């Protein structure tokens, strides 16, 4: 099941829908689990009337969290070595997000094989909401 340096090719991709029609309830779940209770993510009254946004919106870390789900499904459990993103657009209730990993390179360091990935998550309009990279340990 683990990825292998023998079979991976530059340009290979793995893609998943990681959120389908994001609910406000999922934002509540994420606030509760992560401990980030900033009302801009769960409190429509505050967010529209005080913060000046059209509605509550997702924690950046929820975008990263669901992107990470795609990565661990691809590279296997416990294999991620690095993972980083820039949050390029806000994510709103109703959004559907698709995450893609693209193989940029494979390499060997001290006898351990790694894959370097380009990571991108887009919304239903194709607008990128998180843009980044990851690397993971792979089999020989």
Question: Which parts of this chain interact with other proteins (CB under 8 A)?
Answer: 2, 18-19, 26, 29-30, 32-40, 43, 45-46, 49-54, 59-62, 64-66, 68-69, 71-73, 76-87, 90
Query: To the nearest whole angstrom, how small is the minimum distance from the Cβ of residue 138 to other proteins?
Result: 12
Give the angle subtended at the CA of 81 by the CAs of 79 and 82, to the nearest 5°. 135
Closer of 11 and 45 to other proteins (Cβ): 45
- Go through the chain and tell me how many residues it has: 140
CA distances from 22 to 75, 118, 123, 127 (A): 25, 24, 11, 16
Give the DSSP letter string of 24-59.
HHHHHHHHHHH----GGGT-HHHIIIII--SS----
Closer of 86 and 107 to other proteins (Cβ): 86
Query: To the nearest whole angstrom, how small is the minimum distance from the Cβ of residue 12 to other proteins?
Result: 20
Q: Decide: 122 and 87 in contact? Cβ < 8 Å.
A: no
Query: To the nearest whole angstrom, how small is the minimum distance from the Cβ of residue 47 to other proteins?
Result: 9
Query: To the nearest whole angstrom, how small is the minimum distance from the Cβ of residue 99 to other proteins?
Result: 12
Closer of 10 and 58 to other proteins (Cβ): 58
Closer of 97 and 103 to other proteins (Cβ): 97
Q: What is the largest CA-CA distance in the chain?
A: 57
């Amino acid at each position: 099941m683990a990825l292998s340096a023998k079979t991976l090719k530059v340009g290979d991709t793995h893609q998943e829908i990681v959120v389908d029609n994001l609910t406000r309830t999922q934002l509540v779940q994420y606030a509760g689990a992560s401990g980030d209770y900033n009302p801009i993510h769960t409190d429509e009254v505050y967010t529209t009337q005080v913060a000046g946004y059209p509605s509550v919106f997702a924690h950046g870390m929820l975008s990263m969290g669901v992107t990470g789900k795609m990565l661990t499904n691809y590279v296997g459990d416990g294999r991620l070595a690095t993972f980083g993103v820039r949050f390029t657009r806000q994510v709103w209730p109703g959004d559907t997000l698709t995450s893609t990993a693209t193989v940029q390179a494979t390499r060997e360091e001290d006898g351990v094989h790694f894959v370097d990935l380009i990571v991108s998550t887009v919304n239903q309009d194709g607008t990128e909401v998180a843009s980044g990279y990851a690397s993971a340990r792979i089999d020989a």
